[in-house]
Amino acid sequence: TQIRHIVQNMPKAELHIHIEGSLEPELIFALAQRNGVQLAYPSVDALRAAYAFQDLQSFLDIYYAGASVLLKEQDFYDMTAAYLERAKADHVRHTEIFFDPQTHTSRGVPIGDVINGIHRACADSEVSATLILCFLRHLSEDDALATLEAALPYRDKFIGVGLDSSEVGHPPEKFTRVFARARELGLHLVAHAGEEGPPEYIWSALDVLHVERIDHGVRCLEDAALTRRLAAEKMALTVCPLSNIKLRVFDTMQEHNLLTLLDAGLVVTINSDDPAYFGGYLNENFLAAFDSLPLGLQHAHELARNGFAASFLPAEQKQKFL
Ligand code: HPA
Ligand code: ZN
């Protein structure tokens, strides 16, 4: 249909993509072979068959196992280059890519190899791409602080920090000091909050960490005062429709609250989160939402525009997309 065609072809920004979540099963097996890593699954099909998740943690267990094949700088380059090709095909003009250094440094991979490999692929791409270093919230704040210090020789290669991994039981305030340090360094700040965790985690991401966007944030609607505040401050939510269905945040796409969020005046963006695991890249996320919810052409333009508006592009570059 006409609207599907417009949604697919319009220029878009992507603000919530974990690069390790773009690792397709075929590339996992190719890198395992190249690096002599033993996988727990005998074949690509067996691995893909394991992609049936009950919740965030059951996904994270498989996601970290998949990332274990990444050892060399070139592996990080190849993974990132493959994602950027898919993004380009979906008419993504700008992307702000999350990466999880602790997933790799804990296996002995030098942080410089992680950052340089991902960054070099970004520099080689036609798509505008910047990097956001994420701390794993199931690990300690001291581990996050050490990770930030270890990344400082590469300060020019990332624009911000984020917070991801197991949400419930690991509230934003656990990371007060490391976010304060990142803020002093002039880094942009984001955090996952209100995916599985309660609205209180969104409040503390705002008031304690001072984040500039909320990743997911879909549970904000449980708190009317919070919803009003997010709207008043034009605080963007990086919503990930297919992720929310695969991780059972909502039972079906028809029940997703994306349109309700828009109607509440929130700056909603659409993103892919972990496209290799959740069934699609950015266009598939847009199409899944548009196929299941009563969204129209105005919504398509608003969602695309929000992606650029909520980006960390410098004002002059941002203006060209708006
Ligand atoms: N939530 C938390 N951590 C993550 C996610 C997510 O959706 N994807 C990759 N790491
Ligand atoms: Zn995420």
Q: Identify whether 195 is a catalytic site residue.
A: yes
Residue 91, annotated as binding a ligand: no
CA 314/CA 106 separation, integer angstroms: 34
Look up residue 61 and give its two tokens. Answer: 């267990």
Residue 138, annotated as binding a ligand: no
- Confidence band for 295, pLDDT divided at 50, 70 and 90: very high
Give me the interface pTM, i.e. the ipTM: 0.96
Which ligand 1 atom sits nearest the alpha carbon of residue 216? Answer: 7
DSSP 8-state symbol, 273:
B
59, 97, 216, 277, best to mutate for ligand 1 pocket (most atoms within 8 Å of CB): 59
Which amino acid is present at 219?
Answer: R
**CA 6 to each of CA 2, 283, 287, 300: distance values in angstroms, whole numbers, following the listed order:** 6, 11, 10, 8
CA 288/CA 285 separation, integer angstroms: 5
For tokens 């449980």, name the residue: 222
Ligand 1 contacts CB of residue 165 (under 6 A) = yes
Does the pTM surpass 0.90? The reply is: yes
pLDDT (average), residues 89-110: 98
Ligand 1 contacts CB of residue 164 (under 6 A) = yes
Q: Which long-range contacts (CB under 8 A, 24 or more apart) does 109-112 make?
A: 109/70, 109/71, 111/147, 111/150, 111/151, 111/154, 112/153, 112/154
CA–centroid distance, residue 2 to ligand 1 (Å) = 33
Which of helix, strand or coil describes residue 31? helix
pLDDT (average), residues 194-203: 98
Res 1 pLDDT > 90: no
Which H helix or E strand runs over 90?
none
Q: What is the pLDDT of residues 223-247, one digit of tens each?
A: 999 999 999 999 999 999 999 999 9
Which H helix or E strand runs over 167?
none
In DSSP terms, 267 is beta-bridged to 236
Give the rounded percent of residues in the chain with a pLDDT score beyond 70. 100
Choosing from 14, 73, 167, 195, the catalytic residue is: 195
DSSP 132-145: EEEEETTS-HHHHH
Which ligand is the nearest neighbour of the Cα of 213?
A: 2
pLDDT (average), residues 301-308: 98
**All structural domains of the chain:** 2-311 (3.20.20.140)
Residue bearing the CA closest to ligand 1, atom 2: 165
